[in-house]
Structure 1
């Protein structure tokens, strides 16, 4: 599985992350907008969205969360190549498992986030978007999601 993430994939992910880093507030907002377009009920799963009728454009927690998701996906992908496995700080992975379990996250939710992530990256990278880039981020995200799901199972037992 890890072998699917090639040197070229790593270069593509890094390059597109550099593009997105230039406008994190815009892309984080877009990311959450797409999540809620696909699954409006997901709003209640995010503490920082629960109490508002719309996505708060200037919500620092929303921006921080989106940055975390993009960055973690990108970094875990790069580490996947270097170490052959998803490496997120041990406490972070345990924490992610616990918090996702607590918030009732299921497999379907991971798919929604993946779709939103890929659509956001597609918009951000514009003419640089390609099937290769989509696959590279897809593999990266799937690896991270699998690691979080494994922690959730661990946490649930």
Structure 2
């Protein structure tokens, strides 16, 4: 069974909830990443040299892009059953920054915790699975572009 219309809808609606508090959710997302992988701080230009995660337009823009890409991946999965990167430079950027497989695991965990926080009482196993499948497909596409 492919990615369902309901899964796509769950991701889309919870992405809208995420964007309602972009500032707070962005800080939450990167705080989780740095708790799990403190050295990852150097992978993000907007976090280098800072004492911790501080809200900024660059932080919000990057978080918005990450979550937006996963939401777009959900739409692609529903429509075509696969994810194709719209930005051909994503693989090269991840290589340049030194991103490796364990980083994708950390980001996935932070993404799910952030969506759980943003979704509040709408959180469910079904919602989690919808985001996990979309994220995994996006991560696979990025890793493929990194080779």
TM-score where L is the length of structure 1: 0.90
Structure 1 residue 55, shift from structure 2 partner: 1.2
Aligned equivalent of 1:87? 84
Secondary structure in 2 matching 1:85: coil
TM-score where L is the length of structure 2: 0.95
Structure 1 residue 87, shift from structure 2 partner: 2.9
**Partners in 2 of 1:87 and 1:101 — Cα distance?**
18
**Partners in 2 of 1:131 and 1:55 — Cα distance?**
29
The RMSD of aligned alpha carbons is 1.1
Aligned equivalent of 1:11? 9
CA contact (8 A) 1:13 1:74 kept: yes
**Partners in 2 of 1:101 and 1:112 — Cα distance?**
17
**Partners in 1 of 2:98 and 2:83 — Cα distance?**
23
Aligned equivalent of 1:149? 143
**Partners in 1 of 2:34 and 2:69 — Cα distance?**
21
Gaps of 5+ in 2: none
The runs of at least 4 aligned residues of structure 1 exceeding 4 Å deviation read none
